[in-house]
Amino acid sequence: MDFQHTKGTFELAGKQFPRVTWYKQKGMRSLYICLLFVVLTSATNGYDSSMMNGLQSLDQWRDYYHQPSPSQLGLLNSIWAVGSLVALPVVPYTADMLGRRTGVMVGCSIMLGGVALQSLGFTFAMFVSARFFLGFGVAIAHGSSPLLITELVHPQHRAIYTAIYNTTWYMGSFMAAWLTFGTSKIQSTWAWRTPSLVQALPSLLQMGFIWFVPESPRWLISRGKNEKALRILANAHAEGNKMDEVVQLEYQEIRGTLKLEQELEGNKWAELWRKPGNRHRLIILVSLGFFSQWSGNGLVSYYIHNVLNQIDITGSTQQLIINGVLQFTNIVVAVGMCFFVDRLGRRLLFLISTCGMFVCFLTWTVCSAQFEINHSKSSANAVVVMIFLYYVFYNTAWSGLLVGYAVEILPYNIRAKGMTVMFLAIDLSLFFNQYINPVALDRLRWKYYIFYDIWLLFEIFIIWKFYIETRNTPLEEIAKHFDGEGAIIGGRGANEKLRQIVEEIENAGALPDECTGDVADEKVVPHGTPRGPKVDV
């Protein structure tokens, strides 16, 4: 097994630096605490999934909307994906033109409007319309949040922090599951209106704390605001010391790479498939999107009520408890595995995860078939056990690395557009899951599981064939894994030819500069050196 203990150093531009302790540095500590609220975008998504599961188990909700049919339930859940699909054309332009922070704020504002409409929910049509706006808003916020996180955190912590982003899906899911369980005792429409209102909480927290999070240095440099970007890097990674060696190497690498990308490539959509390396990335992005939702997890994420009904676990309280315990298990496994991303590597985790899912789902299928034939309680219990084990394997990789791996393999010039492609694949698969799954489960019952058994084998092959290991590699330098000698990398990580091109571009004044950020009369100091006199920010 390709296991690697955590080293005492991290690498940047071919050099090794002592690892830093984030909570001992004031700037890094405050940044990471505020970024915890940026990751709540994913929690909003998870909250919605679990809340909809819970509402379908509530008699108060089903009675209010006159026992929605499987087709109506499919529409209710899939309309979220439709809203996300409609928003996708504007997602990359919001993140690239307005900035990462603004993208988060725009998305949260739209979601808050959707929550208000959903909580009123006077008619079924009104409830469905609200979910469209929720999907629209979360797509915009989702298109900016992981970019902001990845482009702000220290190189040493990028893999862990970015992986944690998507695991907050389960934190939202856990909160919704147990809140819905608690409100199930309310004998009025507030049994379901209360969880709906609480769905606004993550967005409200984000809207409040986003003001304390700086803009992405990479976005600022792309807009010619170099001095501001350098100041943010220094405050976040070196306690304000702009001449810290790591800060200077980061700054030079980012600035040089962006100059090369803008001069040699641009950021048109065609860049996604123009080069072999980008086509390779595109295969990974599309597969990440579809595999993350088409692995059988969509059955439980939105329709655990239907799955449990088919094995005669029909009690509302029992279903809500199973859902709540499952979400707690998911949180523990998903967050725990984030700390092994750089130790075990992305590729190995994906393979372990998907192979384990296949074994569990195959057993799940057999147990479901046995229950339909024999109606034995042991078969029903085995199905529940397999659901839990399946999610243990799912969360080994697919929860955290879905966004973490996707965002890191993309160079800056196509990062927002590449993530949009992945979210498009997710929304298309979600639309299928949410509209087709309840109908297929109702008509085919356990036989429908066979489709996912076969599909999981296909997933294993694609991961083995195309997924590349990127662990312990600085963000700008990951391009080497995909583009080889043709990788566009600036700074110390660039080859001699690229360095000459960067110098020519700078001499020609290819990019408007607010300030170069280079301090010629100051000396670069080793990483971790006390900053000395206070830097005026």
User: 3-state secondary structure string, 43-96?
Assistant: HHHHHHHHHHHHHHHCHHHHHHCCCCCHHHHHHHHHHHHHHHHHHHHHHHHHHH
Residue 461 — pLDDT band, cuts 50, 70, 90?
Answer: very high
Residue 82, pLDDT above cutoff 80: yes
Residue 301 has pLDDT above 90, yes or no: no
- Per-residue pLDDT, 513: 47
Of the pLDDT bands very low, low, confident and very high (cuts 50, 70, 90), residue 104 is very high
Confidence (pLDDT) at 112:
93
Q: How far is CA 522 from CA 211, 295, 454, 503, in A?
A: 32, 55, 62, 21
Residue 535 has pLDDT above 70, yes or no: no
Of 310-319, 450-459, 502-511, the poorest mean pLDDT is in 502-511
The whole-number average pLDDT for the span 121-148 is 90
Residue 355, token pair as written in the block:
């192979």
Inform me whether the pLDDT recorded for 288 exceeds 90: yes
Contact yes or no for 61/71 (Cβ under 8 A): no
**Which one is predicted more confidently, 433 or 195?**
195
Q: What does the block give as tokens for 75?
A: 């529409």
CA dist 163 → 112, 122, 395 (Å): 26, 39, 11
208-218 pLDDT per residue, tens: 999 999 999 99
Q: Give the contacts of 22 (CB within 8 A, at least 6 positions apart).
A: 28, 29, 32, 154, 157
Q: Which CATH architecture has domain 15-215?
A: Up-down Bundle (1.20)
Fold entry, domain 267-472: Growth Hormone; Chain: A; (1.20.1250)
HSE value, Cβ hemisphere, 13 Å, CA-based, for 330: 30
Half-sphere CA count of 348, side-chain side, radius 13 A: 12
- Rounded Cα distance, 534 and 537, in Å: 9
Share of the chain above pLDDT 90, in %: 31
User: What are the C-alpha distances in Å from 390 to residues 164, 180, 315, 319, 433?
Assistant: 20, 24, 23, 18, 18
Question: If you average pLDDT over residues 332-358, what whole number do you get?
Answer: 93
Domain with CATH 1.20.1250.20 in the chain: 15-215, 267-472
- What secondary structure, in 3-state letters, does 389-406 show? HHHHHHHHHHHHHHHHHH
pTM of the model: 0.80
**Helix count and strand count (H, E) for the chain:** 25, 2
d(CA 364, CA 34): 41
d(CA 275, CA 280): 9
User: What's the CA angle centered on 276, arms 273 and 279, to 5 degrees?
Assistant: 40
pLDDT score recorded for residue 478: 86
Q: Is the pLDDT of residue 4 over 50?
A: no
The per-residue pLDDT for range 14-53, each reduced to its tens digit, is 788 888 888 888 889 999 999 989 988 888 888 887 788 7
Q: Return d(Cα 379, Cα 400) in angstroms, integer.
A: 31
Could you give the CA distance from residue 368 to residue 318 in angstroms, rounded to a whole number?
Answer: 19
Work out the burial of residue 531: count CB atoms within 10 Å of its CB; fewer than 13 is exposed, 13-18 middle, 19 or more buried.
middle
Cα-flanking dihedrals φ and ψ of residue 8, to 5°? -85, 0
Long-range contacts of 380-389, Cβ-Cβ distance < 8 Å, separation of 24 or more: 380/311, 380/312, 380/313, 383/307, 383/311, 384/308, 384/311, 384/313, 384/322, 386/360, 386/361, 387/300, 387/307, 387/326, 388/326, 388/329, 389/356, 389/360
The pLDDT, as a whole number, for residue 266 is: 61
User: What pLDDT does residue 2 have?
Assistant: 43
pLDDT for res 269: 80
Instruction: Supply 463's token pair.
Output: 């991961």
Q: Whose CA is closest to 234, among 98, 17, 31, 412?
A: 31
Does residue 312 sit in helix, strand or coil?
Answer: coil
Q: CB of 319 within 8 A of CB of 313?
A: yes
Summarize pLDDT for 375-403 with one digit per residue, the tens. 788 888 898 899 999 999 999 999 889 98
Residue 102 pLDDT > 70: yes
Identify which has the larger pLDDT, 526 or 229.
229
pLDDT tens digits, one per residue of 190-203: 988 999 999 999 89
Q: Report the alpha-carbon angle 461-463-467, nearest 5.
A: 140
